Structure 1
Amino acid sequence: MAGSGAGDARISVLYSAEALSARVHELAREIVARMGPRPLIVPILKGSFVFAADLMRALHDAGAAPDMDFLSLSSYGAGRTSRGEVTILRDTEVPIEGRDVLIIDDILESGRTLAFARDLMAARHARTILTCVLLDKPGKLATQLKADFVGFECPDVFVVGYGMDAAHAFRQLPFVGFVEE
C-alpha cells in the first residue's frame, strides 16, 4: 500500500514503477520491429500522457524517431463509468493521410474510445493504424477491438496512477494501483 496524497484514500499497487518501465521498453522494441522507425504516435489524452511520454523516450532508445500529435476524447466525464458515447475534446493537428499511426491509450475496457480513435484515423486515410494500450481489462468490451500492443492484463478494478485518475485525483502516482474501498 502507498499513501496517495488525497485525503485518507489508500492505494494498492498493481504494477510498480520498475515493472512499468521494463514493459514500456519491451513495447517500444515490439513497436519498432512492426512499424519501423517513423510512426505517428497519437496518444489519447488525458489518461495516457505519462505512458505516452515514457513510450516516446523508449522508442528513441529503440532507434525510432516518431512524430507525435494528440487526441483528447472523453467517454467518462468525471465519473467511473463510461457514458457510452465518445466526444472529441481536442483533435489532432497534423495531416494523417498516408501515415503509419500508432494510437496510444491507457486502458482498453469497453473499447469505445479506442475504436472511435481508430475509425477517426481510418476516415482520415492513415496508411496503417495500430493500437497500443498500457492495460487490457478483458471481459468488458462493447466492441470487437483487440489492441495490437498490450502492456499488462488488468484485473477488474478501477485503476489510478501513471496518468490515470479517479475524478481528477491520483494521476501523479509513479505506479498503477487501485483505490481501496
Structure 2
Amino acid sequence: MTAAPRIRVLFDEGTIAKRNETLAQEIAADKPQNLLVVAVLKGSFMFAADLIRALHRTGLAPQVEFVHLSSYLDGTISTGNVAILRDVESDVRGRDVLLVDDILESGRTVTFAKDLLMARGAKSVKTAVLLEKPGKRAVQIHPDYVGFTCPDVFVVGYGMDVAHSYRQLPYVGVVDHHDSSPDLFDKPE
C-alpha cells in the first residue's frame, strides 16, 4: 500500500472564507436584480455554497441552479470541446445571472456557459471564479469576480479533484507529485 501523498496548502480555509465575503460584497455592490446563481458542477460546489451564503449575509436572496459541464472527460487535459452533462432547469430570460466556477484556465467552459445563458435571454451574465490562471487562456474572456490568481500548478481541494479524490479538503492545495501515483499526474494540465 502506498502512502497518501502530501498536499501543500496554496490557499488556506481562513483566507478563502475572507475572500468569499469580499467577493459577495463586490457582487452586491453591483446591485443585481432577480439574481440567479448558476454553479458549474462539479468543481465549484464548495465555492458556490460558501459564496451563496456570503451573498445572503449582504442582503441578497439569489435563486440557485446548477449546470454540469465537462471538457476533461476522464483525463487531466481539456479536450477543447464542452459537453452539457446536466442543464439548468430555470428560465433565465430577463434575469441577472451569476455564473460560478472553480477555476478559469482556457476559458472554454465559462465562455460556453455564458454564451448559452445569454442566448437563452439572460439580462446579464457575470462570472465569478475562485481561481484564475491568466496565462492559460485559449479564448477571450475576463471574469467579473476573481477569488485568487493561481500559479500554473494542478490544484485540488475545496471542490476540485484529481481522479475524484481530494474534493473534500477545506483548502486549495497542490499535490506533491513525488509522493503520488505517477499515473494520476503523468499529463500536464
Q: Pick the TM interval, shorter chain.
A: over 0.9
1:140 aligns with 2:136: yes
SS in 2 for 1:35: coil
| Partners of 2:133 and 2:31 in 1: CA distance | 25
TM-score, scaled relative to structure 2: 0.91
User: Which position in structure 1 is the counterpart of 2:39?
Assistant: 43
Larger radius of gyration, structure 1 or 2? 2
1:96 aligns with 2:64: no
Contact 2:33 2:95 in 1 (8 A): no
Offset at residue 167 of structure 1 (A):
1.1
The one of 120, 125, 128 aligned to 2:124: 128
Contact 2:33 2:96 in 1 (8 A): no
Paired residue type of 1:50: M
Q: Which runs of 5+ in 2 are unaligned?
A: 178-189
Q: Which runs of 5+ in 1 are unaligned?
A: 1-5
4+ runs deviating over 6 angstroms: none
Alignment identity in percent? 56
Aligned length: 176
Q: Residues 21 and 37 (structure 1 numbering): CA distance in 2 closer, same or farther, change over 3 Å?
A: farther
SS in 2 for 1:173: coil
Contact 2:34 2:95 in 1 (8 A): no
User: Which position in structure 2 is the counterpart of 1:67?
Assistant: 63
Deviation per residue, 1:99-130 (Å, 9 max, x gap): 10000000000000000000100110100110
> Superposition RMSD on alpha carbons, in Å?
1.2
